[in-house]
Amino acid sequence: MAFAIFYNDEDLPVLERVAVDRQSLSMTNTDKQTALAFWNGGLKDWRSAPIEQSPFEGFIPTNTARRIVITFGTLLGFRDLLYRIASANPSLLYLRALADDMGRECGGVEPWPVV
């Protein structure tokens, strides 16, 4: 099963850092492997992802969010990973806000595509 997240370009480098800098962050080895799996499962394609808004969000004519489809794991699993990383890395507390937002249908949608 896949899920989609909808984020602007200014938010996505924080998520990218989780995968790219995972060796230098305070994370368990399991979380490092999980972060890499989410990265390879679709998060790595965020720079070329289409501009699109969640189908559950009201129309925004100036929308600049990218739709990133992730084919690894679950949305809940991704959110839980972000919470653990934020708790262990004070410089990444913004991940907690992103994970909270993914709990609303405008930030994250599972399953994807919507059936």
pLDDT tens digit string along 59-102? 889 999 999 999 999 999 999 999 999 999 998 999 999 999 99
pLDDT tens digit string along 3-50? 999 999 999 999 998 888 888 899 999 999 999 999 999 999 999 999
For the chain, what are the domain ranges? 2-112
Strands (E), 1-115: 2-7, 66-70, 108-112
Task: Give the pTM.
Answer: 0.93
DSSP for residue 107:
T
Which of 24, 20, 21, 57 lies closest to 39, judged by CA? 20
Count how many Cα atoms sit within 13 Å of the Cα of residue 112 in the half-sphere of its side chain: 23
DSSP letter for each residue of 59-77? P-TT---EEEEE-SS-HHH
Cβ pair 19, 38 in contact under 8 A: yes
Question: d(Cα 87, Cα 95) in Å, to the nearest integer?
Answer: 9
Sheet holding 108-112, edge to edge: 66-70, 2-7, 108-112
Whole-number pLDDT of residue 39: 96
